[in-house]
């Protein structure tokens, strides 16, 4: 079993207040702010949530590292549960200011400008659940992510796929860094677009039908892989629809 540092030594302000949520509220008061932070079911010491007044935002999740003094934030949109903002910092007051902005409905770009530790994932808010907006939001996230990872082949694949109108139309998603598509958005992805593109580090690309299905070919460039994938799309591909979750 791993041995973690004494949480009281790492987070004395949490120890004083009794929970992370209470510590957030106390710091907010000192900063002249007011956030309705509450504890989560997973544990009051290392986790807390702050609700948002905008109905299309989920609660901002605040968590504390077990191994070093560091706070993490994650703010997701309501319908797909995908992150809009993420970040980490050693300063609890910075977390409180971000939590206040998230709660008050401050635009994402302004939250980032006010707190440099906040990372924008590339996704933007689509309050009306417009499928075309959700498609473009996810493409922007994938392009943002691909530009940041140290994997030239993956970056090239995402950019080439985005540049191909036939592949830019369906909803994109990745699984184990392989690019896939759907005619419905999350949370309920469809299975009617089987083509899958696999980048390989320092090597070529593989195009398959299904994640582990029939291999359609190997190519030396991302553009060739994208062209091959585009040829497999049905001519009567359905327009993207919102993938509403079924009954639980």
Q: Please state whether the predicted TM-score (pTM) of the whole model is above 0.85.
A: yes
Q: What is the mean pLDDT of residues 60-69?
A: 95
> In which band, very low, low, confident or very high, does the pLDDT at 244 lie, cut at 50, 70 and 90?
confident
Q: Which residues of 116-125 are buried (b: 16+ CB within 10 A; e: fewer)?
A: ebbebbbbbb
Specify whether the CB–CB gap between 180 and 191 falls below 8 A: no
pLDDT band at 247 (very low <50, low <70, confident <90, very high): very low
For residues 97 and 120, give the distance between their C-alpha atoms in angstroms, rounded to a whole number.
16
Across residues 36-54, what is the average pLDDT?
90
Share of the chain above pLDDT 90, in %: 85
* pLDDT exceeds 90 at position 147: yes
Contacts of residue 171, Cβ cutoff 8 Å, sequence gap at least 6 = 131, 134, 135, 138, 181, 182, 183, 184, 185, 186, 189, 240, 243
**Percentage of the chain exceeding pLDDT 70:** 98
Examine the pLDDT at 248 and tell me if it is beyond 60. no
pLDDT value of position 246? 56
20 close to 12: Cβ distance less than 8 angstroms: no
Q: Could you give the C-alpha distances from 197 to 135, 149, 211, 218, in angstroms and in order?
A: 18, 18, 8, 10
Confidence band, pLDDT 50/70/90 cuts, at residue 3: confident
- Lowest-confidence region among 23-32, 90-99, 122-131, 230-239: 230-239
Q: What is the pLDDT of residue 41?
A: 74
At 5 the pLDDT is 87
When pLDDT is cut at 50, 70 and 90, the band that residue 192 belongs to is confident
> Looking at the predicted structure, is the pLDDT value of residue 188 above 90?
yes
Where are the domains positioned within the chain? 7-120, 131-231
> Is pLDDT of 230 > 60?
yes
For residue 35, is pLDDT > 50? yes
Report pLDDT for 49.
97
DSSP 221: S
Per the CB < 8 A criterion, the answer to whether 92 and 24 are in contact is yes
């Amino acid at each position: 079993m791993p041995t973690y540092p004494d949480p009281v030594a790492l987070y004395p302000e949490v120890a004083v207040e009794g929970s992370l949520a209470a510590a957030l509220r106390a710091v907010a008061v000192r900063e002249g702010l007011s956030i309705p932070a509450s504890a989560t079911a997973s544990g009051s010491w290392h986790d807390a949530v702050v609700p948002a007044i905008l109905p299309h935002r989920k609660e901002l999740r605040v968590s504390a590292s077990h191994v070093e003094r560091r706070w993490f934030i994650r703010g997701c949109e309501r319908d797909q549960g995908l992150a809009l903002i993420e970040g980490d910092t050693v300063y609890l007051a910075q977390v409180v200011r971000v939590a206040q902005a998230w709660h008050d409905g401050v635009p994402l770009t302004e939250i980032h400008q006010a707190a440099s530790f906040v990372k924008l994932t590339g996704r933007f808010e689509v309050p009306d659940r417009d499928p075309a907006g959700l498609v473009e939001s996810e493409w922007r996230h994938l392009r943002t992510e691909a530009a940041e990872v140290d994997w030239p082949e993956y970056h090239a694949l995402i950019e080439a796929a985005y540049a191909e109108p036939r592949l830019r139309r369906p909803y994109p998603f990745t699984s184990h860094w392989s690019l896939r598509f759907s005619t419905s958005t999350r949370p309920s992805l469809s299975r009617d677009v089987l083509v899958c593109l696999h980048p390989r580090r320092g090597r070529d690309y593989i195009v398959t039908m299904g994640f582990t299905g029939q291999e359609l070919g190997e190519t030396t460039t991302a553009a060739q892989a994208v062209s091959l994938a585009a040829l497999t799309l049905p001519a009567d591909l359905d327009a993207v629809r919102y993938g509403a979750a079924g009954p639980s």
